[in-house]
Amino acid sequence: MKGTSSETIGRNALALAVVAVIGLASITLFYSLFAGNGGPFGTLNDICVALGGILSGGLVWRLYPLHRQLAPHLSRFAFASGLLGACLAPIGSGMAIFDVTGWFLAGLVTTFGYALIGLWLLGFNYSARGWPALPRRLTLFGMVAGGVAAIGILAGPGIIARTDATDSAPWFVLAALYLGGLGWNILYTIWCFWLGRLLLSKRLVLQLHTATLLPGEQVRPTSSSTNL
């Protein structure tokens, strides 16, 4: 992963953070100006959430070579989880935009998708926690963000039961929606901004070996980094 690729990852991460901030601003305006009863901001938020899922898929894909070299076995599970989540999150947004279901059930699908992305985030940062190229605080924060977002897995039973109202949802489904939402809406956004800023400022440049691995062999990535 040479300098250009590092910059691409940085732009991907920063774009994801910007889209998330726009979505948060939109949903805030939606409830403060329209009391949740109309206006374009709700749809804009749904679009931003969908774009965030797609951009997350790009980030998962681009960071996979690094993760594979850090943890060959865990990276496969994390990669599959992240890509599946990146597909589910836009589906949930589409359900809300096109009124396929109510906002609550659509939100559960989105939350479940981002929970799978959270599992990827947790796995990636866990694998990178001892690697000196990435700031330890960044990897620790990423594990927290991923763990909180992963609470959204508890939305699964609500999706299966097609729960579409807060008053009929079990407490753990509500916890998945709101606590999981804290993880992917806020904490994941901060992590992406942090990573993107480091990469685009050239304070972190990742370089990976591309040699083919033999069975049981593990190649450690090299790095160039300053002022981390």
**pLDDT per position as a tens digit, 182-197:** 999 999 999 999 999 9
Degrees (nearest 5) of the Cα angle 156, 65, 143? 45
Q: Which domain holds residue 199?
A: 3-206
Q: Is 97 part of a structural domain of the chain?
A: yes
Q: Is 219 part of a structural domain of the chain?
A: no
Q: Is 216 part of a structural domain of the chain?
A: no
- The amino acid sitting at 202 is K
Q: Is 222 part of a structural domain of the chain?
A: no
Q: Is 213 part of a structural domain of the chain?
A: no
Q: Is 145 part of a structural domain of the chain?
A: yes
Whether residue 12 is predicted with pLDDT greater than 80 in this model: the reply is yes
CA dihedral in degrees (175, 178, 183, 184; nearest 10)?
Answer: 130
Q: Is 70 part of a structural domain of the chain?
A: yes
What are the tokens at 132?
């000196």
**pLDDT per position as a tens digit, 79-122:** 999 999 999 999 999 999 999 999 999 999 999 999 999 999 99
Return d(Cα 219, Cα 210) in angstroms, integer: 9
Q: Is 25 part of a structural domain of the chain?
A: yes
Q: Give me the number of domains the chain comprises.
A: 1
Mean pLDDT, residues 27-35 = 80
